[in-house]
Amino acid sequence: MSLITLENYAEGKWVKGLRSSETLYHAISGEALYQTGSEGLDFAAMLAYGRKKGKALRNMTFHERGLMLKALAFHLMSKKELFYQISAFTGATRSDSWVDIEGGIGNLFANASLRRQFPNERYYVDGDVARLSKQNTFIGHHIMVPLEGVAIHINAFNFPVWGMLEKIAVNLLAGVPAIVKPASLTSYLTEAVFKEIIHSGILPEGSLQLICGSARGLLDHVKNQDIVTFTGSAETGKLLKSHPQLVHEAVPFTMEADSLNACVLGPDVNTDMPEFDLFIKEVVKEITTKAGQKCTAIRRIMVPENRLEDVKIALGKRLKSTTIGDPSVEGVRMGPLAGISQRNDVIARVEDLMKHQEIVIGDLHHFEVSGADKNKGAFMSPIVFFNDDPFHKTACHDIEAFGPVSTLMTYQNLDEAIELTRMGKGSLVCSVVTADPSHARDFVLGSANMHGRILILDRECAKESTGHGSPMPMLVHGGPGRAGGGEEMGGKRGVLHYLQRTAIQGSPSMITAVTNVYQQGAKGISDGIHPFRKRFDELVIGDQIITDKRMITSEDIDRFADLSGDHFYAHMKDTNFEGTMFTHQVAHGYFIMSAAAGLFVDSYDMNPVLLNYGIDELRFTKPVYPETEIFVRFTCKEKLPTETKNEEDIPKGIVKWLVEILDTSEEPVVGVATILTMVKK
């Protein structure tokens, strides 16, 4: 059978390499399936093309990019069965493939939803205003704009779909195009998904390019607006990170490296507790899922000394009952590794570890395979070592076998357990299984600086826990030291990695004009029409009214106290105020806010305001005493459009209003708030 040549996607065209550079094989049968090649690709031209065409992405708003990701996620979900068929060639079970394929698409959905945390603009205004002058005529802020370069993603073989989608979801939402370089071993699955992305026509031209063959020389052409991400071995990552062009151009480099992740059984857990079974299940799952080919897999198992035999027996029983073979055969729970070359590499690492510790569960050579030829496929038995002196026999803290391999060791107390986890020199994830909150707290605080994520597993969260090995889009994925020192995903944090943060300084009016967010002290716009009478589309940032005044009386305060039930001493006129912060009866802050609403709300006729959506940043800055006149400066601060859910839904958006409650003194501000209303378009 003739081999299929994988294609590269460069400068808007599908291109086959001029010559094959590598042959790719079926992980189960060993049959040659594909060949790759990238010879003839002009990497400098690809980067230049991405930078130039990336303008289309940058010119979209965060909301437009988010909706683009949502549409792409739905499209890929409709094609998932094709991806499952191809994923089977990698030796993955259906559940393995689900994590890779639907987990990857889930990243698109998750990042699409992040659009609501950003403005409907091409940029993001970050943090709080800095007041740089006494009279507030000079202020500072931060604005973040997309980098005008290309994100280069160099991915690992173990998650050919998830690895690509979790990265491009973030850079596309940020408005930065990407070049994807999957690991050759499983690049045929990446190519299949990538083709569907391009054929969908959902992304602007130039948003993505693909290199299925070698990318040697690509980094020679990066510039300071580009960004490089790498997932793979720590050794390869270090070589790439020190590339002279990256150093010369100060190109950001994010590394997510394989690490020696640990799982700790808490000292409080005994065999009749639910947590003991949870621990065994979690360890077995992480050894066998994807045949242990996960950067987050459990490589070191740490248990109290008095639980060693119990854990050995329970682990051995479960692992020996795990059927290895062709995942299409009923009952098979673990498939082969991704390829013969990968299996051989894992076996070499196991042999290195055998020099320092003994195998107590599994066998390198004697194991059964269901529905396949053990010698033709990349099959391997789960292997568990026991290290009887982990503080001195340290190979298990240095050598990683990237397959179904883990090392069991004991500790005397929680401090020892913490120290053993830290001996991995930095990990993506660690888990502790305990029912004792004090143990959980001590463990986390003692080991957090050496881990990117820590799972605390107990009976309370077990049913809904995503597990030790599942990074989530809204949380940081990465870790210190050996794990690479970088971070991916992380919700909004991940998007900000692709934006340049720039400080801007000027008058409130100028900063308002730049950010399109009203800054306190800027000039307002008054056209004689109450802002509540304007539809969402008609409102302009800075639309402002100054209300009539209202006198606050002692009787008002008494009535509010009776109505609300808030009889705090400061609101009672018969209180002895000697030694307090107040001179006499003071108005409730919530009454002042309510009175302010009575001043700024235009309630005489039906208007486009549908409802009050909430109050943010409410502050009471000084007391209001009886016989004080208050009024309100009410300004349109920011507009956030929303999408209609169906044909019956009213087109609308969220409007943020700055409410400044003032009195007639020299320092007039008595309260400040941001209120949100839902306004009809």
Residue 195 sits in the same domain as residue 280: no
Tell me: the pLDDT tens digits for 281-310?
999 999 999 999 999 999 999 999 999 999
- Mean confidence (pLDDT) of the chain: 92
66-82: average pLDDT: 96
> Residue 8 — pLDDT band, cuts 50, 70, 90?
very high
Number of domains in the chain: 3
Residue at a domain's end among 411, 443, 473 = 473
355-366: average pLDDT: 93
pTM of the model: 0.89
- The per-residue DSSP string of 456-504 comes to EE-TTTTTT---TT---TTSEEEESGGG-SEEEE-THHHHHTTEEEEEE
Residue at a domain's end among 473, 507, 535 = 473
The answer as to whether 505 is a domain residue is: no
Is 70 exceeded by the pLDDT of residue 1?
no
Q: Give the residue carrying structure tokens 């909706």.
A: 67
The answer as to whether 283 is a domain residue is: yes
Question: At residue 177, what are phi and psi to the nearest 5 degrees?
Answer: -75, 170
Residue 15 sits in the same domain as residue 103: yes
Residue 434 sits in the same domain as residue 292: yes
pLDDT at 20: 73
Residue 405 sits in the same domain as residue 537: no
pLDDT at 647: 83
Is 80 exceeded by the pLDDT of residue 2?
no
21-38: average pLDDT: 89
Residue at a domain's end among 231, 252, 273 = 252
3-state helix, strand, coil in the chain (%, to 5): 35, 25, 40
176-203: average pLDDT: 95
The answer as to whether 140 is a domain residue is: no
HSE value, Cβ hemisphere, 13 Å, CA-based, for 176: 32
CATH of the domain at 241: 3.40.605.10
Residue 292 sits in the same domain as residue 237: no
Examine the residue annotation and report whether 263 is marked as an active-site residue of this protein: no
Q: Tokens at residue 405, please?
A: 């391999």
Residue 246 sits in the same domain as residue 281: no
Residue 309 sits in the same domain as residue 449: yes
Distance CA(242)–CA(230), nearest Å, equals: 13
Is 90 exceeded by the pLDDT of residue 19?
no
pLDDT at 325: 92
Distance CA(114)–CA(118), nearest Å, equals: 7
Burial zone of 240 (CB within 10 Å; 0-12 exposed, 13-18 middle, 19+ buried): middle
The answer as to whether 214 is a domain residue is: yes
One-letter amino acid of 363: D
Radius of gyration for the alpha carbons in the chain, expressed in angstroms and rounded: 30
Residue 21 sits in the same domain as residue 84: yes
The answer as to whether 436 is a domain residue is: yes
pLDDT at 644: 83
Contacts of residue 415, Cβ cutoff 8 Å, sequence gap at least 6: 446
Tell me: the pLDDT tens digits for 503-521?
999 999 999 999 999 999 9
Four-CA torsion 287, 288, 290, 296, nearest 10 degrees: -20
Residue 303 sits in the same domain as residue 331: yes
pLDDT at 610: 86
User: Which of 473, 661, 630 lies closest to 69, judged by CA?
Assistant: 473
Q: Percentage of the chain with pLDDT > 90?
A: 78
Examine the residue annotation and report whether 638 is marked as an active-site residue of this protein: no
Distance CA(253)–CA(350), nearest Å, equals: 31
Distance CA(279)–CA(387), nearest Å, equals: 19
Residue 405 sits in the same domain as residue 278: yes
Measured CA distances, 123 to 51, 146, 173, 441, 576 (Å) = 18, 7, 11, 39, 54
Residue 176 sits in the same domain as residue 295: no
Q: Which of 295, 396, 430, 636 is catalytic?
A: 295
Residue 321 sits in the same domain as residue 229: no
pLDDT at 547: 93
CATH of the domain at 538: 3.10.129.10
Tell me: the pLDDT tens digits for 470-493?
888 888 898 898 888 888 888 899
The answer as to whether 482 is a domain residue is: no
> Residue 236 — pLDDT band, cuts 50, 70, 90?
confident
pLDDT at 592: 94
Question: At residue 231, what are phi and psi to the nearest 5 degrees?
Answer: -130, 125
pLDDT at 310: 95
The answer as to whether 248 is a domain residue is: yes
Q: Which of 7, 166, 191, 256 is catalytic?
A: 256
The answer as to whether 215 is a domain residue is: yes
Question: Domain range spanning residue 633?
Answer: 524-680
323-330: average pLDDT: 91
Tell me: the pLDDT tens digits for 572-624?
988 888 888 888 999 999 999 999 999 988 766 778 888 888 899 899 999 99
Q: Which H/E stretch holds residue 48?
A: helix 43-53
> Residue 18 — pLDDT band, cuts 50, 70, 90?
confident
